[in-house]
Amino acid sequence: MRVRHGMRMITTNEKVVLVRRRLKLLVAVFLAVAALAVAAGCDSSGGGGTSAAASSSSAAFPVTLKNKFGTAIVKSQPKRIIAFGYEEDTLATLGITPIAYAKNEYKSDGVFPWLQGKIDLSKSAALDTSGDLNLEQIAALRPDLILATNFYSLADYYDRLSKIAPTVGYTDDAGIATWQENSTIIGKAVGRNADVQKAIAGTAKIVQGVQGVQGVQDGLPGLAGRTFSYSFYYEPGGLAVIDDPKTVSVQLYGELGMKLAPGVTTNVVDRSLSMEKIEALDADFLLIGFATPALKTEMNANKLFAAIPAVKAGRVLQVDAFIAGAVNNPTILNIPWQLDQLRPTLTKVAATS
């Protein structure tokens, strides 16, 4: 789960780093991860990538982009792009296929539903970043641009990656920038900012449609003012809970007019909640992700969880690690897909008196 978010916890701190690296799809917020390893069978020519040339102009270059660790100067139109942190979604809106992307451990085939009909990653290298990066393999792909706008381990590798190719990173911390900010940075890096802004406006319009602000017939204006909680059950007794409403993982709910449940803000400490206080997750909308099916079964057998009003009323949405990863790492393309997954439960929430 590609997950950017300052919130993780394996000793609490170490467990977070571990989870952050492994569940970058959901633990990006809770525990977090990333992904990167050259797919077997890919040669150093790194087939599959498509150029950003479509409608960009050479006048857009050189492009200078500052980040937390340095400055990336993209001198000319990039044609061999590596995406370390979900940047392939923004590239897809431009018809650009990266030569390599961060492998999603919960969808190893690289067939992401929101990319269908836009780009095909089957010929791109799937990189595994759950452990140490193989810099020799990365260099062998001969990238001319590395996008790492949401790569949690960038601090450990920036100097070395930037020697391979211009490396565009985050300006604050991984998982902090909004999906709009990340898409804008990517658009500038490939000389297609105007096109990316149009794509951003398209996704924003979809969100506004759900809000009902445009008078859309199937909008859900009843969500305004409703409360929500979002948690991830990553191991027996290990429950990570988002306790900061500004976290990018839950930005979408704020845009829908919802607010963090008071029980969360009162009881959650450092994104951790003991199972004895699990009732604190109660909200108008309760979203919970599970690292494995077995953990979901365990949770549903927990009497305290079953007794939570939102669970009893059917205002809970239980999702797998793949969906949780998308939630933790909202992008210009997976947000509309997320809303499709959430809509049945959100409809019930909006209609509740």
Per-residue pLDDT, 15: 41
- Distance of CA 305 to CAs 190, 302, 312, Å? 47, 5, 9
Per-residue pLDDT, 246: 82
Per-residue pLDDT, 11: 38
Domain total in the chain: 2
Residue 4 within a domain: no
Q: What is the mean pLDDT of the chain?
A: 85
Number of H helices, E strands in the chain: 13, 14
Rounded Cα distance between 243 and 8, Å, is 12
Name the token pair of 286: 């309760």
Indicate the residue among 149, 170, 191 that finishes a domain: 191
Residue 233 and residue 179 in one domain: no
Residue 177 and residue 253 in one domain: no
Residue 137 and residue 230 in one domain: no
Residue range 177-227, pLDDT digits in tens = 999 999 999 999 999 999 999 999 999 999 998 887 544 556 898 999 999
Residue 170 and residue 48 in one domain: yes
Residue range 89-137, pLDDT digits in tens = 999 999 999 999 999 888 877 789 999 999 999 999 999 888 899 999 9
Residue 280 and residue 186 in one domain: no
Closest Cα to residue 206, out of 197, 195, 196, 218? Answer: 218
The domain that holds 263 is classified in CATH as 3.40.50.1980
Residue range 52-76, pLDDT digits in tens = 555 555 678 999 999 999 999 999 9
Do the Cβ atoms of 241 and 229 come closer than 8 Å? yes
Residue 14 within a domain: no
Per-residue pLDDT, 51: 53
Rounded Cα distance between 86 and 68, Å, is 19
Percent of the chain with pLDDT over 70: 82
- Statement: the pTM of the whole predicted model exceeds 0.85: no
Kindly give, in sequence order, each residue whose CB lies less than 8 Å from that of residue 303, ignoring residues fewer than 6 positions away. none
CA dihedral of 133, 135, 137, 143, whole degrees rounded to 10:
110
Rounded Cα distance between 281 and 264, Å, is 6
